[in-house]
Amino acid sequence: MLKTIPNLFCLPVVLLLLLSCGGTTKVLKVANTTNWKQCTSIDTTSKVIFSDNFDNNNNKWPLTNNKRFLANVANGVLHVEKFQQNAEYQGCLWLVKAIRGFNTKSNFQISFDARFLKCKDTYNEIDLQWGHIQEDSYQITFTDDGQIVLRRFTENKSPKWVPIASTVMKNLVNKDHSNKITISQINDTCIICINGYEAINAKVERLGGNFIGIQQCWKVAWEIDNIEIRQ
């Protein structure tokens, strides 16, 4: 399901990963590098219910190529890009995908590789989301300078966006190569790991849903590869 939606929340909305190249997203604190904790929540035993190395588009991602957006599977990656700055066009590209057998109310792990290519906007943000699209979901935000933010979106509440946890881990995100991102939900805890280090460990309310989504609102190009969901 491919949607173009207005950019109602321009600092990020679902599986939502927000990557930013040198953006100015404000977060709470800077973590001391000597206190970085190696990630111990990586799951290698539960069943893989979905995976994609993007050698082809057999998983039928909703691709597009027009004057505003590009979503394309080529050269072994999913390439996502917005061509106009948000000040010129505030619409967002939104790739929404239902995952058979996935239940975001149960324990799960999502892992993938993400790489920045071009960043030419005010915030330069990219979104990856999990939950129930456009109703109740979580979003994780990353920047290339190590800012990480977890938010919840609820359509029928005010405010719709509520921050859950945030931090800054300088030099954690690789600006020139792929970054391994792992999102683990273990009972009522969400653990975000980047390149083998724990970035966020926060209490969350488990939400029902079986969707992941990629949202692109800023003039940024990036690649996603080796996505895997375990449950």
CATH number of the domain encompassing residue 140: 2.60.120.560
Q: What is the pLDDT of residue 24?
A: 42
Burial of residue 107 (number of CB atoms within 10 Å: 0-12, 13-18, 19+): middle
Number of domains in the chain: 1
| pLDDT for position 14 | 42
- Would you state the pLDDT for residue 7? 43
As given in the structure block, the two tokens for residue 175 are 């600006």
| Residue 151 and residue 42 in contact, taking contact as beta carbons nearer than 8 Å | no
Residue 83 and residue 66: Cα distance in Å, rounded? Answer: 9
List, for the chain, all residue ranges whose pLDDT scores fall below the cut of 70: 1-34, 124-126
Task: Dump pLDDT digits (tens) for 153-202.
Answer: 999 999 999 999 999 887 888 878 899 999 999 999 999 999 999 999 99
| pLDDT confidence of residue 44 | 78
Half-sphere exposure of 169 (CA within 13 A, CB side): 23
d(CA 201, CA 185): 10
Give the model's pLDDT for residue 53: 97
Q: Could you check whether the bond before residue 159 is cis, i.e. omega within 30 degrees of 0?
A: yes
Q: Is the distance from CB of 188 to CB of 206 less than 8 angstroms?
A: yes
pLDDT at res. 183: 95
- Supply the range of the domain harboring residue 146: 2-230
How far is it, in rounded angstroms, from Cα 212 to Cα 199? Answer: 21
